């Protein structure tokens, strides 16, 4: 177990700067998810922590030890790769024990440690199989076992569930959560799937274009996004946004609806999550629109409503779902309204 501290990290490929001035502190035993869209630099950051990419500027400390220029195998980290990277010519036992064999451990030690890991991950019946003979979920567990056997201070996961089908992903997510609870080892987890990040992590780092947008707990990010990017990125379906104009102390919505007393000097846009919008009786709402598509999920439904400025998503109870093509009035829960300035910063309510 160890804490991780990144200070003023910058990464350049030639003249192209992909990351600059990144600071991050991950507490000992935390499960930290690096979340962001493709190309935001999350995998690059993970690979720099692993030692697979050089750091252009700044330093990386694991448990107060500067490992910025240390060899990957000497950093006390272990990584689970997106495509597992299991050696196809070795059995599960040999894959798990490979790092021990390189370190010169005896066969007895290798077998003993591999067996402990196998028991933990329920891999015992598979130990003599090769990776080609395993299912996706089993391969994933072997990859975790290979990392586990090294007894690392920090676990690094690079989108480990992205190759699994939806059902298996949920199952493996649960197993990872249990593993973290059992081991209490610091884990850094890269994903572009916010559901994974929200369900697994106790600390989420949202990245965009190599810059940290916000660091916080899943609920912090959901309820109090630091800016428009985080507000739009966290949540599924995404937050609804409306460009507004100020008229005295009121904010005027597209279509003429007014948010009384909501105006603040720099507000140019407001955002509201689908569950904070209600379909109300004709004339009782702020925005009028026409339902276009209805998604029935069983426990809830999402209604996509065409409004003058675009599409608005509304979450409704499954038994109160309007039909497509129906004209509806939408009311907003003013206490849940997020206000943003022109530069995307969130303004206090």
Partner 1 sequence: MSVTSTSRRRIETGAVLLTALTAICALLWFFPIYWAIITSLRFDQDTVTDFALFPKSPTLSAYIFTIENSNLLRWYFNSTVTSVTITIITVAMAACTGYAISQLSFPGRKLLWWTILASFMVPVSALIVNHFIIIAQIKLLNSYAGIILPMLLHPVTVIVYKQFFDGLPREFREAAVMDGATEFQLLFRIFLPMNWGVTTALAIITFIGAWNSFLWPFLAAQDETMMTVTVGITAVQDAYGVAYGRVLSGAVLAGLPVALAYLLFQRRVTQAITLSAGIKG
Rank residues 40 and 78 by Cβ distance to partner 1 and give the closer one: 78
Rounded to the nearest whole angstrom, what is the least distance from the CB of residue 80 to partner 1 in the complex? 9
Considering only residues 11, 42, 141, 150, which one is a binding residue for partner 1 as defined by CB under 8 A? 150
Rounded to the nearest whole angstrom, what is the least distance from the CB of residue 88 to partner 1 in the complex? 6
Give the x-and-dash track for 33-52 against partner 1 (CB under 8 A): -----------------xxx
Q: Are 294 and 322 in contact (CB under 8 A)?
A: yes
Rounded to the nearest whole angstrom, what is the least distance from the CB of residue 308 to partner 1 in the complex? 49
85 binds partner 1 (CB under 8 A): yes
Rounded to the nearest whole angstrom, what is the least distance from the CB of residue 102 to partner 1 in the complex? 5
Site stretch for partner 1 (CB under 8 A), options 84-92, 113-121, 329-337, 341-349: 84-92
Residues written for the chain: 349
Rounded to the nearest whole angstrom, what is the least distance from the CB of residue 78 to partner 1 in the complex? 7
List, in sequence order, every residue forming a beta bridge with 186; answer none if it has no partner: 154
Rank residues 147 and 316 by Cβ distance to partner 1 and give the closer one: 147
The count of C-alpha atoms lying within 13 angstroms of the C-alpha of 106, restricted to the half-sphere facing its C-beta, is 3
Q: Are 189 and 6 in contact (CB under 8 A)?
A: no
Considering only residues 23, 65, 69, 103, which one is a binding residue for partner 1 as defined by CB under 8 A? 103
Coil vs helix vs strand at 170: helix
In the region spanning residues 325 to 344, those forming contacts with partner 1, defined by CB under 8 A, are: none
Concatenating the DSSP letter of every residue in 290-306 gives: EEEEEEE-SS-EEEEEE
In the region spanning residues 64 to 83, those forming contacts with partner 1, defined by CB under 8 A, are: 71-74, 77-79, 81-83
Rank residues 86 and 332 by Cβ distance to partner 1 and give the closer one: 86
Q: Rounded to whole angstroms, how far apart are CA atoms 182 and 54? A: 32
Rounded to the nearest whole angstrom, what is the least distance from the CB of residue 216 to partner 1 in the complex? 30
Q: Rounded to whole angstroms, how far apart are CA atoms 162 and 80? A: 12
> Token pair of 217, please?
């707990």
Contacts of 341 (CB under 8 A, 6+ apart): 266, 267, 268, 347
99 binds partner 1 (CB under 8 A): yes
Coil vs helix vs strand at 273: coil
Rank residues 93 and 338 by Cβ distance to partner 1 and give the closer one: 93
Residue 104 φ then ψ, to 5°: 90, 15
Rank residues 71 and 182 by Cβ distance to partner 1 and give the closer one: 71
Pairing mode of beta strands 301-307, 310-316: antiparallel
In the region spanning residues 234 to 273, those forming contacts with partner 1, defined by CB under 8 A, are: none
Rank residues 131 and 285 by Cβ distance to partner 1 and give the closer one: 131
Q: Are 271 and 338 in contact (CB under 8 A)?
A: yes
List, in sequence order, every residue forming a beta bridge with 279; answer none if it has no partner: 330
Site stretch for partner 1 (CB under 8 A), options 10-18, 36-44, 94-102, 261-269: 94-102
Concatenating the DSSP letter of every residue in 98-147 gives: HHHHHTT--HHHHHHHHHHHHHHTT-GGGTTS-GGGS-HHHHHHHHHHHH
Size of the site for partner 1 (CB under 8 A): 24
109 binds partner 1 (CB under 8 A): no
Give the x-and-dash track for 162-201 against partner 1 (CB under 8 A): ----------------------------------------
Coil vs helix vs strand at 36: coil
Q: Are 111 and 97 in contact (CB under 8 A)?
A: yes
153 binds partner 1 (CB under 8 A): no
Q: Rounded to whole angstroms, how far apart are CA atoms 174 and 69? A: 35
Q: Are 45 and 95 in contact (CB under 8 A)?
A: no
Rounded to the nearest whole angstrom, what is the least distance from the CB of residue 72 to partner 1 in the complex? 5
What does the binding site for partner 1 look like in residue numbers (CB under 8 A)? 50-52, 71-74, 77-79, 81-85, 87-89, 98-99, 102-103, 146, 150
């Amino acid at each position: 177990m160890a804490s991780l501290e990144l200070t003023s990290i910058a990464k350049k490929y030639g003249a192209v700067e992909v990351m600059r001035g990144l600071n991050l502190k991950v507490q000992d035993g935390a499960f930290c998810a690096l979340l962001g869209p493709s190309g935001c630099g999350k995998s690059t950051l993970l690979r720099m922590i692993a030692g697979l990419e050089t750091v252009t500027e700044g330093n990386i400390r694991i448990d107060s030890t500067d490992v910025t220029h240390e060899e990957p195998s000497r950093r006390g980290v272990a990584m689970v790769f997106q495509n597992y990277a299991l050696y196809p010519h070795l059995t599960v036992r040999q894959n798990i024990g490979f790092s021990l064999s390189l370190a010169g451990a005896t066969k007895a030690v290798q077998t003993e440690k591999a067996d402990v890991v196998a028991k933990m991950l329920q891999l015992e019946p598979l130990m003599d199989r090769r990776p080609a003979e395993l299912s996706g979920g089993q391969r994933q567990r072997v990859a975790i076992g290979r990392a586990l056997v090294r007894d690392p201070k920090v676990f690094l996961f690079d989108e480990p569930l992205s190759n699994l089908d939806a059902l298996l992903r949920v199952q493996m997510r649960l197993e990872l959560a249990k593993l973290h609870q059992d081991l209490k080892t610091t884990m850094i987890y890269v994903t572009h799937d916010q559901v994974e990040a929200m369900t697994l992590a106790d600390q989420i780092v949202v990245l965009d274009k190599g810059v940290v947008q916000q660091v916080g707990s899943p609920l912090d990010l959901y309820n109090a996004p630091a800016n428009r990017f985080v507000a739009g990125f966290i949540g599924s379906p995404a937050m609804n946004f409306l460009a507004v104009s100020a008229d005295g102390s009121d904010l005027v919505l597209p279509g003429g609806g007014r948010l009384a007393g909501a105006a603040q000097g720099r507000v140019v846009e407001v955002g509201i999550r689908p569950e904070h919008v209600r379909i109300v009786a004709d004339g009782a709402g702020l925005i009028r629109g026409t339902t276009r598509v209805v998604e029935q999920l069983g426990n809830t439904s999402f209604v996509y409503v065409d409004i003058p400025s675009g599409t608005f998503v509304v979450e409704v109870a499954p038994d109160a779902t309007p039909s497509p093509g129906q004209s509806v009035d939408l009311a907003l829960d003013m206490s849940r309204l997020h206000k943003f300035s022109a530069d995307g910063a969130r303004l206090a309510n």
